């Protein structure tokens, strides 16, 4: 076994970021029997202190039902049954009601930390998804299989996959690494 293959694990898909998007995506793709890794840089011991009120659309609640998570979430939500849309100082408004739309609610309000906690717990329970946490992506390069990520978790290791999903939020490390790769591709003489 070469030194390289000894420390390299190959996946079909690596999702960087186990936040709302990354955790829900891993959960949704799980039935496809793909070899999936999720890399999340926060520690599981950290209690999620996100008190933001998150509004889930009706469509999001349908997705969460399909993921088998709604039964865990529903008791933590407050349903939105009426919406009044108006423009301050302008004449006219629109009223929407769940009853008219023949749905239980137009949307739901939930505390951000509760939603994320339940999503991440459900991800940790998927024994065949490799969950690297806390782990940090520090490098990314193209390779034969697609992409190679350098990941630090206690020690540095290499993960490879045909496809990498950047679900690492607004200040995405993956986006910055991608920009560097494309810059060097277009400017091969640059240092
Ligand atoms: C004040 C406020 C109110 C909001 N209200 C709503 C609302 O009502 N309804 C709504 O739908 N949306 C709302 N949003 C938006 C919502 O919070 C975001 O759309 C959502 O959090 C995006 O999820 P995400 O998984 O893409 O990113 P994030 O939630 O940012 O998750 C990214 C994850 O990636 C991890 N990560 C980052 N870098 C790395 C790395 N290098 N290696 C490994 N892991 C990494 C982070 O630890 C994090 O867990 C609101 C946002 C704000 C700021």
Quote the CA–CA distance of 151 and 167 in Å, as a whole number.
15
DSSP string, 156-170: EEEEEEEEEEE-S-T
Cβ 44 vs Cβ 18: under 8 Å: no
Is any atom of ligand 1 closer than 6 Å to the C-beta of 138?
A: no
**Over the stretch 17-37, which tens digit does the pLDDT of each residue have?**
999 999 999 999 999 999 999
Cα angle 63, 72, 134; round to 5:
85
Q: Which atom of ligand 1 lies closest to the CA of 136?
A: 42
pTM: 0.89
Rg (CA), the chain: 21
Quote the CA–CA distance of 48 and 110 in Å, as a whole number.
14
SS3 content of the chain, % helix, strand, coil (to 5): 35, 35, 30
Cα distance from N-terminal residue to C-terminal residue, the chain? 33
Is any atom of ligand 1 closer than 6 Å to the C-beta of 120?
A: no
Is any atom of ligand 1 closer than 6 Å to the C-beta of 54?
A: yes
Quote the CA–CA distance of 34 and 51 in Å, as a whole number.
34
Is any atom of ligand 1 closer than 6 Å to the C-beta of 48?
A: no
Contacts with 38 (C-beta within 8 Å, 6 or more apart), sequence order: 14, 15, 17, 18, 22, 23, 26, 123, 129, 130, 131, 132, 133
Enumerate the domain spans of the chain. 9-186
Q: Which atom of ligand 1 lies closest to the CA of 22?
A: 25
Please give the distance, rounded to the nearest whole angstrom, from the Cα atom of residue 20 to the centre of ligand 1.
6
Which stretches of the chain drop beneath a pLDDT of 50? 1-6
**Over the stretch 79-97, which tens digit does the pLDDT of each residue have?**
999 999 999 888 899 999 9
DSSP state of 129: S
pLDDT at 7: 65
C-alpha dihedral, 110 to 111 to 112 to 115, nearest 10°: -60
**Over the stretch 146-162, which tens digit does the pLDDT of each residue have?**
999 999 998 889 999 99
Please give the distance, rounded to the nearest whole angstrom, from the Cα atom of residue 27 to the centre of ligand 1.
17
Instruction: Single out the residue of 44, 38, 36, 25 nearest to residue 134, CA to CA.
Output: 44
Is any atom of ligand 1 closer than 6 Å to the C-beta of 40?
A: yes
CATH architecture of residue range(s) 9-186? 3-Layer(bba) Sandwich (3.50)
pLDDT at 4: 47
Q: Which helix (H) or strand (E) holds 108?
A: strand 107-111
Please give the distance, rounded to the nearest whole angstrom, from the Cα atom of residue 169 to the centre of ligand 1.
5
């Amino acid at each position: 076994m070469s030194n390289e293959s000894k420390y390299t694990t190959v996946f079909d898909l690596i999702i960087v970021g186990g936040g709302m998007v990354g955790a829900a995506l891993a959960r949704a793709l799980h039935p496809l029997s793909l070899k999936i890794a999720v890399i999340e840089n926060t520690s599981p011991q950290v209690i999620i202190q996100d008190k933001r009120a998150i509004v889930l659309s009706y469509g999001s609640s349908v997705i969460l039902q399909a993921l088998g998570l709604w039964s865990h979430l529903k008791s933590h939500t407050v349903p939105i049954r009426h919406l009044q849309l108006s423009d301050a100082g302008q004449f006219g408004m629109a009223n929407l009601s769940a009853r008219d739309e023949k749905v239980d609610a137009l949307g739901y309000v939930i505390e951000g930390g509760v939603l994320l906690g339940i999503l991440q717990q459900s991800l940790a329970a998927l024994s065949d998804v490799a969950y690297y946490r806390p782990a940090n992506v520090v490098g990314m390069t193209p390779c034969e299989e697609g992409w190679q990520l350098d990941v630090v978790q206690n020690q540095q290791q290499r993960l490879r996959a045909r496809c990498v999903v950047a679900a690492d939020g607004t200040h995405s490390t993956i986006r910055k690494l991608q920009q560097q790769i494309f810059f060097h591709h277009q400017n091969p003489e640059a240092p």
